[in-house]
Amino acid sequence: MNDHVFTLFDTALGRCGLAWGPRGILAASFADKDDGKTRARLLRRAPRAAETDTPPPAIARVIADIIALFAGERRDLSYAELDMNGVADFDRSVLALTSEIPAGETKTYGDIAKALGDVSLSRRVGQALGRNPFPIIVPCHRVVGADGSMTGFSAPGGAEAKRRLLKIEGALQPELFD
């Protein structure tokens, strides 16, 4: 019996997805070009997961908070239980530090690397965030380049999605035509 499940849900930024199992959330996905691509992103981490339209209450709460966040409300997703099985130790350390960045604030890749003990780890920090199986929940969008640039965001929508999330959270000021 397969105990991994996923669901897709509508947000102001498109249809996102979550996959979970008995130990917590396995993967989160930003909206992609179509549902098939979003499903594929989730299934990379939960390959035999079955799709459902009725998530359990704990997952429904995370979904509701993601929907609210993308609609412009501040939400803290740090309560979400994450299944870190298969996540490398270095990546876990990076994800833990990234999870501590509050909404409305940013840190640089160098800041995270310094917190890990060596600024020369900045590139490895970026690589670890590129492998983040829990984007949105572990807010990798809050990590920016040393000059504040929207670099290194591999989620669908790229740098523009990162910029939009940071504006929603108040870390960036709206522009004239927002």
Instruction: Identify which of 7, 40, 27 has the alpha carbon closest to the alpha carbon of residue 133.
Output: 27
Catalytic residue among 59, 140, 143, 150: 140
Rounded Cα distance, 46 and 57, in Å? 20
Give catalytic status of residue 140 as yes or no. yes
Residue the block writes with tokens 């299944």: 83
How remote is the C-alpha of 72 from its chain's centroid?
A: 16
| Pairing, β 5-11 against β 24-29 | unpaired
DSSP 135: B
Cα dihedral sign, 151-153-158-161? negative
Residues annotated as part of the active site: 140
